[in-house]
Structure 1
Amino acid sequence: MDLRVLGGAPADPFLSAADVFETEFSIEYPVFVTVRDDPDSRTWAAHYEDHHVLNISRQAATSAMAREFALHELSHMARNEERHVSHYQSTEEAVFLALAGRTVERRKLAHCYQIANHCKDIYADDLTLAVAPADKLVQFLESQLAASLIDRPQTTTNPEYRLVTPGSDPDITAVNAAFALALVERHDLISDDHRLYDLAHAAADDAPNISLETFKEHFRTLADDPSKSEYRRTLVDVVRRYVVGPSVAAD
């Protein structure tokens, strides 16, 4: 694999990720790692006609999770090169089909794209977990969910004056919890008494309109190699369930 690190970050985690990834999979096009100074910049892969770019913040690039982040993004690149439907189906098209004729607030719309990205992440991590131990990933999922629960909005106990403070949105936190459980169950990574289940159920308690089990099954049972129409229907269904609920989604 032709991988080059730009921006002055340590190259070792990325070169190590490339070596591990190549034990099972390959990436044809060159990979450029671009390190960004913005600590809030998420890690993501961009795909071009003749190369890929792994974008990562300097904070993430120098963290204990740097190799795992890189492996995840290399998996996205491999899925892109194999033209897996999850990485070519238009999210905009699926969201439009799911929500046609409905008015949706901007916050919920942003969540729809996050949910669609979870589906792509499932397929990427199917590759990641085939080449790397899962311990750090499980710890990361646990810490992220715990942080979201700590940051959840708080309400007063006075029923006449319910003040909601800013924080993580309970609905999308519950969906994120469902994604975490789906990923670990899909690959049989944890036992039934793992703390992640307690955190996920706490998230579900905060979001009574979200079925943790329904979304978990959506993510967990994604077919390995769906057709374009099958995958489009899956995205449409999961987006519609989030926005309008199960009764309308089933229509």
Structure 2
Amino acid sequence: MDLRVKGSGPSEPFLSARDLFETEQELTLPVEVDVREDPDERTLTGHYDDHHVLVMSAQAATSAMARELALHEFAHMARHEESHPSHTMKTEEALFLALAGRSVERRKLAHCYQIANHMKDIYADDITLALAPADKLVAFMESSLAAAVADRPAAAPGGWTRTSEAADPEITVVNAAFALALLERHDAIADDHRLYDLARAAASDAPAVSLDTFRRTFRSLAADPDESEYRRALVDVTREYVVGSGGPTAAD
């Protein structure tokens, strides 16, 4: 892999991730890494005709997860180069099919994009978790879900009073299902792990969203789907979220 790191951050995590990645995988196009003090995203990957770009915040690049974050993004690049449908199909295409004729609240539409990103992440992490131990990822997911559950808004007359999008109870259930599914898919979590308790706590706050349905769906995604199979999976999971968690809503 042709790797070039620029910016004020360290290069070691990216070089270490590259060395680990190349034990099993390879990228044809060069990779430009840009470490920034305050990017719009913690990590942001772009794909071009002649190279890939990875933007990472200095905070993330100096964290304990830096190598794993870089490895994860390299895996996304590999999926893009192999034209995996999860990484080449336009999300809008599947959402149009799934939501045609429905009025969908803007909040839920944003969640649908997040669900599509979860599916991309599963396919990227099928590579990542074949290369690196899952210990740091498990700890990160546990911490993130615990924070989301603790940050859930209190019940109020007439419904939820949401303090932030991150604390939205419905998408928190889906996020919990994604975490469990990914780790179960790679036998990386014990049956009595605290993540299960946290996931059940999240599910109790949004009973209209089925934790088990999303967990099974994410966990059972075909390893090498064709475009039609992947589109159908994304359409089905989108409909499950929009219809299964309360049906059509008023347009925002």
Task: Assess same fold via TM > 0.5.
Answer: yes
Q: Secondary structure at the match of 1:53?
A: strand
Counterpart residue number, 2:180: 181
**Is 1:95–1:236's contact at 8 Å kept on the other side of the alignment?**
yes
Aligned partners of 1:125 and 1:44: how far apart in 2? 16
Structure 1 vs Structure 2 CA RMSD: 1.8
Point out where structure 1 has 5 or more consecutive residues left out of the alignment: none
Report which stretch shifted further, 119-128 or 162-171.
Answer: 162-171
Counterpart residue number, 1:164: 161
Report which stretch shifted further, 46-55 or 163-172.
Answer: 163-172
CA offsets 1:203-237 (integer angstroms, 9 cap, x no match): 11111110000000110000011111111010000
The CA deviation at 1:37 is: 2.1
| Amino acid in structure 1 at the alignment position of 2:38 | D
The CA deviation at 1:44 is: 2.6
Counterpart residue number, 1:84: 84
Aligned partners of 2:40 and 2:80: how far apart in 1? 25
| Amino acid in structure 2 at the alignment position of 1:4 | R
Provide TM-score, normalisation by structure 2: 0.93
Q: How do 1:63-212 and structure 2 match up within 5 A? A: 63-156=63-156, 164-167=161-164, 168-212=167-211
The CA deviation at 1:162 is: 6.2
The CA deviation at 1:64 is: 0.7
Aligned partners of 2:24 and 2:175: how far apart in 1? 29
Q: 1:46 to 1:66 in 2, by over 3 A?
A: same
| Amino acid in structure 1 at the alignment position of 2:69 | F
Counterpart residue number, 1:240: 239
Aligned partners of 1:154 and 1:210: how far apart in 2? 18
Provide TM-score, normalisation by structure 1: 0.94
Counterpart residue number, 1:224: 223
The CA deviation at 1:248 is: 7.3
The CA deviation at 1:247 is: 9.9
The CA deviation at 1:39 is: 6.5
**Is 1:182–1:219's contact at 8 Å kept on the other side of the alignment?**
yes
Aligned partners of 2:53 and 2:235: how far apart in 1? 29
Q: How do 1:52-67 and structure 2 match up within 5 A? A: 52-67=52-67
**Is 1:6–1:34's contact at 8 Å kept on the other side of the alignment?**
yes
Aligned partners of 2:179 and 2:121: how far apart in 1? 11
Counterpart residue number, 2:37: 37
**Is 1:174–1:203's contact at 8 Å kept on the other side of the alignment?**
yes
Identity score, percent: 68
Q: 1:99 to 1:3 in 2, by over 3 A?
A: same
The CA deviation at 1:178 is: 0.2
**Is 1:155–1:165's contact at 8 Å kept on the other side of the alignment?**
no
**Is 1:36–1:55's contact at 8 Å kept on the other side of the alignment?**
yes
Aligned partners of 2:173 and 2:39: how far apart in 1? 25
Aligned partners of 1:227 and 1:148: how far apart in 2? 34
